Amino acid sequence: MKAAEKKKEVPAVKWVVREALKVSWALFVGVLFRGEVCCLECDVNNATPSDSIFSRTVQLKSDDADLVASLFSSRDAVSALAERVHSLPPASTIRSSLAPADLDNLREDVGSLVRDLGQTKGLRDKWELAVLIVALEDVVARAGRSESVDDESAVPVLELYGKLLEICDELDLRKVWELKPLLSGDDIVRILNRKPGPGMKEILVSVVVWQMRNPTGSTSECEEWLRSRWT
């Protein structure tokens, strides 16, 4: 009986998550275009909230809730990185303003985040949604119990996360999730003279990280680094 009840709970949980996302997007649109928290669909169609929720729920795919859960699970990482880049120079001068080692570290941190988001099932090139959702949550949190969000409180928050996206563009990391390792698993086995095993994934990830830190690096340079790092 308990097992059956548990199975019935899953769709309900997913439904709640889906509805939370839709409410969040209504809030986000309100912040950007009207400066207040509102439900645009109800205003335009003169519909009740329950009618609006029902009509939109039947249009959603069953995987939407899983996607939303993945988006929200990245919240802390996105927020922390946005706070970090806030104190950095403007994106347009980031290459010339930072020391080489600091720039490499920034490439790795931003690239790793984008790559993780971009490899999320159903997200891919729409990974910016995660940044927008975190920005939304931050705006609403700072508004507190207020029924509206004004430019004075919303704009600085949106600019904070906007800068993160600008740095992604400046460092050519927006599609880093598509980056293929210069070295394959077979290459690594040959170069390191070791058998395939559980540790191979860690090595492959390190190769991708090296590529993010060295965007103009060649295959031979990557091989040389691999030998020095893993032997």
The highest-confidence range among 5-14, 46-55, 160-169, 208-217, by mean pLDDT, is 208-217
pLDDT of residue 195: 86
Asked if 27 and 60 sit in the same domain, the reply is: yes
Both tokens of 114, joined, read 């984008």
Asked if 219 and 141 sit in the same domain, the reply is: no
Asked if 173 and 190 sit in the same domain, the reply is: no
Q: Which residue has the higher pLDDT, 70 or 174?
A: 174
Mean pLDDT throughout 166-193?
A: 93
| Residue 106: CB atoms within 10 Å | 20
pLDDT of residue 139: 79
Given pLDDT bands bounded at 50, 70 and 90, which one contains residue 65? low
pLDDT of residue 181: 94
pLDDT digits (tens, 9 = 90+) for 128-153: 878 887 887 887 777 765 556 666 77
| Residue 7: CB atoms within 10 Å | 9
Asked if 53 and 84 sit in the same domain, the reply is: yes
Asked if 103 and 134 sit in the same domain, the reply is: yes
Per-residue pLDDT at 37 exceeds 60: no
Contact 213, 108 (CB under 8 A): yes
Both tokens of 123, joined, read 């997200």
Residue 175 φ/ψ, nearest 5 degrees: -115, 30
Asked if 65 and 127 sit in the same domain, the reply is: yes
pLDDT of residue 133: 79
Amino acid at site 220:
S
Asked if 57 and 147 sit in the same domain, the reply is: yes
Q: Which residue has the higher pLDDT, 42 or 165?
A: 165
pLDDT of residue 102: 96
Asked if 129 and 195 sit in the same domain, the reply is: no
Given pLDDT bands bounded at 50, 70 and 90, which one contains residue 30? very low
Residue-averaged pLDDT of the chain: 75
Asked if 31 and 130 sit in the same domain, the reply is: yes
pLDDT of residue 118: 83
Domain that holds residue 198: 185-230
Q: Which residue has the higher pLDDT, 144 or 59?
A: 144
**Cα–chain center distance at 88:** 20
Helices (H), the chain: 2-33, 40-45, 49-57, 64-73, 75-86, 94-97, 100-118, 128-143, 151-170, 185-192, 200-213, 219-230
Asked if 192 and 122 sit in the same domain, the reply is: no
Contact 30, 40 (CB under 8 A): yes
Asked if 132 and 208 sit in the same domain, the reply is: no
Contact 203, 188 (CB under 8 A): yes
pLDDT digits (tens, 9 = 90+) for 111-123: 999 998 888 776 7
**Cα–chain center distance at 113:** 6
Least confident of 29-43, 65-79, 119-133: 29-43
Concatenating the DSSP letter of every residue in 115-176 gives HHHHTSTTTGGGTHHHHHHHHHHHHHHHHTT-SB--HHHHHHHHHHHHHHHHHHHHTT-TTG
Q: How many domains does the chain have?
A: 2
% of the chain residues with pLDDT over 70 = 65
Asked if 168 and 205 sit in the same domain, the reply is: no
pLDDT of residue 117: 86
Q: Which residue has the higher pLDDT, 108 or 57?
A: 108
Contact 167, 106 (CB under 8 A): yes
Per-residue pLDDT at 206 exceeds 70: yes
pLDDT of residue 131: 84
